Amino acid sequence: MKKILIKKRGTGDIESYFVLLKIIIAIGVVFSMYAYISSIQRDTFFDKLYLSRDIAFLMDSVYSSQGRFYIEYKRDMLKNYDVEFLKQRVKIIENNTDSKKKSLIIYQFAEDLNYKTRANKISNSNKITFQKSNNILEISKELKNKIKLISCPETEINDNIQNTKILIDVNDDGKNKLIPTIEHILQSKIKNSKTTKGKARLEIEKLIEESNVIISVRLNEKENNEVKAYISSSPSPEDKDILKKRNRLACLIINELISIDSLFEGGNIIETNPKYLKEEDKTILDNNKISIIVSIEIQNIKNLKDIATIRQIGESIYKGITTYYGK
């Protein structure tokens, strides 16, 4: 060893050993760097941590939110994991490894025991759905019409459809020529009904005064396909029962409309103070009658060319009215 280091002619050989050693060390470091980087690339820890907390916080917010609703939680990375909801815990489990190596991350959420929580295991999906209705929270369950339906207030209706003067007012704005079909259907089915079509303002005001029930149908172009019913929130103080009746009629009509297959995404009733409405709507709602404005919001009114669908809308409104009168 001593000889090798001291020998002059051997210095080149010693340098070449050092070079070889350096190369071996460098290759070793490069390989370990590569291994570390690729482990980070494969590492799912952060994803699982993020998803578990995000979903647990969403659960917390869902429980404290009031009313009925349906929401979708979408994340592309969800496809790589199974999600389970069990005993106030969200479990995020890797689904692309063999069963022995499946690692999971759990995070707790606060359950509201006033709600029955029903959850399916979520696999190979990039979304989780949450439906809250009455005292039930359903997670990733099939969307049923029953869940979409609004629970209607019960109230005693002593009137008869034959003896009730019903005024029908369809506002089409001329955007779709088939829309008056709704008016024709309602008028042909309800014998004691009148329409505002082609009438002058004074004549309409007189008709409003004579009628017991006013149903106004509006078609609006909006981003979502929804049905809204506007009712007046200010009944006369001596007759609070009328608010319940308006609510019930609006609710029954909406439930019939949203039951039409894949036409509407949902519906709701909006109690409004008529003084904030447009002049023509004010005359419809600002009275002590059972009056509602059914606003049908469709993405593109011009695309509503199918006569069968228009007929279905008209018939659904009629069905809502007959259910209200108990027939």
Minimum CB–partner distance for residue 295 and other proteins (Å):
22
List the x/- string, 37-76, binding to other proteins by CB under 8 A: x--x----xx--xx--x---x--xx-xxxx----------
Q: Which of 270, 226, 272, 276 is nearest to 251 (CA)?
A: 270
Sign of CA dihedral 209, 210, 212, 218: negative
Nearer to other proteins, 57 or 69 (CB): 57
> What does the block give as tokens for 247?
């609510």
Out of 17, 31, 36, 69, the residue judged to bind other proteins by CB under 8 A: 36
The window from 19-27, 98-106, 190-198, 276-284 that contacts other proteins (CB under 8 A) reads: 19-27
Edge-first strand order for the sheet with 81-86 is 81-86, 89-94, 104-108
77 binds other proteins (CB under 8 A): no
DSSP assignment of 168-201 equals: EEEE-TTS-TTTHHHHHHHHHH-TTEEE-TT--H
Least distance (Å) from other proteins to the CB of residue 83? 18
**CB 263 → other proteins: shortest distance, Å?**
28
Least CB distance from residue 144 to other proteins, whole Å?
Answer: 21
Instruction: Compute CA distances 192 → 101, 160, 162, 163, 311, whole Å.
Output: 72, 11, 6, 7, 20
Question: What CA–CA distances, in Å, run from 75 to 78, 79, 120, 156, 258?
Answer: 6, 8, 17, 48, 28
Q: How far is the CB of 254 from other proteins (least distance, A)?
A: 17
Q: Closest by alpha carbon to 269, among 286, 290, 241, 248?
A: 248
Confirm or reject binding of residue 270 to other proteins (CB under 8 A).
Answer: no
Judged by CB, which is closer to other proteins: 153, or 326?
153
- Give the total of residues touching other proteins (CB under 8 A): 35
Q: Which of 4, 21, 24, 29 binds other proteins (CB under 8 A)?
A: 29
Nearer to other proteins, 46 or 69 (CB): 46
In the complex, minimum distance from the CB of residue 130 to other proteins, in angstroms, rounded to a whole number: 15
State the minimum distance, in angstroms, from the CB of residue 302 to other proteins. 39
State which of residues 11, 97, 233, 273 lies at the interface with other proteins (CB under 8 A).
Answer: 11
Tokens representing residue 33 in the block? 């760097």
String of contacts with other proteins for each residue 79-118, x by CB under 8 A: --------xx-------------------x-xxxxx----
Buried b (16+ CB within 10 A) or exposed e, 168-194: bbbbbeeebeebbbbbbbbbebbeebb
The residues, ordered by sequence, that sit 6+ positions from 52 with a Cβ below 8 Å of its Cβ are: 90, 91, 92, 105, 106, 107
Closest Cα to residue 82, out of 101, 62, 103, 61? 103
| Among 1, 2, 5, 12, contact with other proteins (rule: CB under 8 A) | 12
- Cβ-based neighbour number of residue 111 at 10 Å: 16
Q: At what angle do helices 307-324 and 241-258 cross, to 10 degrees?
A: 150
Q: Mask of contacts with other proteins, 118-147, x by CB under 8 A?
A: ------------------------------
Kindly state the smallest distance separating residue 113's Cβ from other proteins, in Å: 5
Residues in contact with other proteins by CB under 8 A are 9, 11-12, 15-16, 19, 22-23, 26, 29-30, 33, 36-37, 40, 45-46, 49-50, 53, 57, 60-61, 63-66, 87-88, 108, 110-114
